Structure 1
Amino acid sequence: MIQFHFHPSPNPLKIALYLEETGLPYELVPVDTRKGEQHSEAFKAINPNAKTPAMLDGETRVFDSNAMLLYLAEKTGRFVPQDTPAARAEMYSWLMFVASGIGPYCGQAVHFKHFAPEPKAYAVNRYDFEAWRHWTIVNDHLATRAWMLGDEYTFVDMAVWGWARVVPFVLGGDAWEKLPHVKRLLDEINARPAAQRAEALKTRFQFKAEVDEDARKVLFPQNARLVDAGG
């Protein structure tokens, strides 16, 4: 059985959605990142990057959420596009767009807007601009098709959904006025029973909600260098 190491944040929820959509049996293992559980030796043996999610499928480990989606898609053959060079090229391109664009830039935008100490005006401007740019590309793409890869719902839509859920927190309260096609995609996936089950997973465990000083130490260990340097 798959052992799925989970925290209720965008990247793990992509995997939760895929597992729920396919009905694959799995064991859910909570990882409370604000308590630093991702830095345990046991977790890093699965994901040396010390980031959620991570997965064990028997003796096979998989880490990075996008690698996990590809692995599961190849394992099940579910929610994948047609097996043609053109369709696979679109699949890989948009999945990597989420992996290298949407995820990192949204994550940095959230960090600098909501958690980073001052001064941060330059960083906020850079990552807010890039997050908006990436989501506008997705919005324009969805203006002419039902789903990311055309007429069929695939795991690439699940990858987008993980981050689309938090767009207002990333970009601000007016985001949906400017990104109506992304909002349509989000609403359509949210209406699926599998998405509702994936969202409900967070209620099965009590995760630390506040970002207090202890949480900051484990989430932002780079700040220790500033203290050590007298900054």
Structure 2
Amino acid sequence: MIELHYWPTPNGHKITLFLEEAGLPYEIKPVNIGKGDQFKPDFLAIAPNNRMPAIVDTAPADGGKPLSIFESGAILQYLAEKTGRFLPADMRERYKVLQWLFWQVGGLGPMLGQNHHFNRYAPEKIPYAIERYVNETRRLYGVLDKQLDGRAFVGGKDYTIADMACYPWIVSHEAQGMSLDDFPHLKLWFQAIAERPATKKAYEIGDSIKDRFDLTQDEDARKVLFGQGAKR
């Protein structure tokens, strides 16, 4: 059983995309990041960077005690190795996928996250910051669009953890100031993944979590979400 410590954000969706595709049994443990659940001692014991997602594999392959893993890229790689799915066995093909996974966690996610912050959440509009991150978002979309020219998926012909890592960050393209019409290869890829049954299920799960909790962002929630209230 996989215990998934989760909230419906792009990084959280990455893991439900994998789990639904692979058919692994899992249980969601909601981490309400607007209420500070990420700072609770039990969560910090498995995710010391106080960020979700994190998992606990109660039945790891080595037969040992439950194994906890944090960081979405590491989780995707672990689950791929555990199941033997969505990560090629061939060395060259494997590293094609892994380099794009690391590209996402090191670039696409952080830069688009800053785009989201300054465009949607910052208490004051800072034109320089907005322009900087919208422009970088456009550049990264262009990199991904070029990679998808002549390829069905990011790593090649097969759907992999690189696609699962990138897709959730493109879902909010309109809020990021992007039009997929400007990136035709990316648009086709995005539409194909959106139609996968596991993708639909993963996002239904996210919506069900949103329905269960109060997502109102009052001043206290903003302080928690954006660091002012981070506990040391």
Common fold by TM > 0.5: yes
Matching of residue 189 in structure 1 with residue 193 in structure 2: yes
**1:219 maps to which of 217, 222, 225:** 225
Deviations 1:81-128 (A, max 9, x none): 2412x2122112111110111000000111011111336222112111
Q: List gaps (5 residues or longer) in structure 2.
A: 59-65
* TM-score, L = length of structure 1: 0.90
- C-alpha distance in 1 between matches for 2:149 and 2:214: 38
Partner of 1:154: 160
* TM-score, L = length of structure 2: 0.90
- C-alpha distance in 2 between matches for 1:190 and 1:117: 32
Partner of 2:128: 122
Contact 2:14/2:72 (8 A) holds in 1: yes
Displacement of 1:212 in angstroms is: 1.8
Matching of residue 210 in structure 1 with residue 213 in structure 2: no
Partner of 2:61: none
Matching of residue 178 in structure 1 with residue 185 in structure 2: no
Structure 1 residue runs of 4 or more that deviate by more than 3 Å after TM superposition: none
Q: List gaps (5 residues or longer) in structure 1.
A: 225-231
Number of aligned residues: 221
Partner of 1:70: 77
The range that moved more, 5-14 or 211-220, is 211-220
Check 1:133–1:11 CA distance in 2 against 1; reply closer, same or farther (3 A cut).
same
The range that moved more, 176-185 or 127-136, is 176-185
Partner of 1:19: 19
- C-alpha distance in 1 between matches for 2:227 and 2:17: 30
Question: How is 1:86-105 mapped onto 2 (pairs within 5 angstroms)?
Answer: 86-105=92-111
2:189 counterpart SS class: helix
How big is the alpha-carbon RMSD for the aligned residues of Structure 1 and Structure 2?
A: 1.6
Higher helix content, 1 or 2: 1
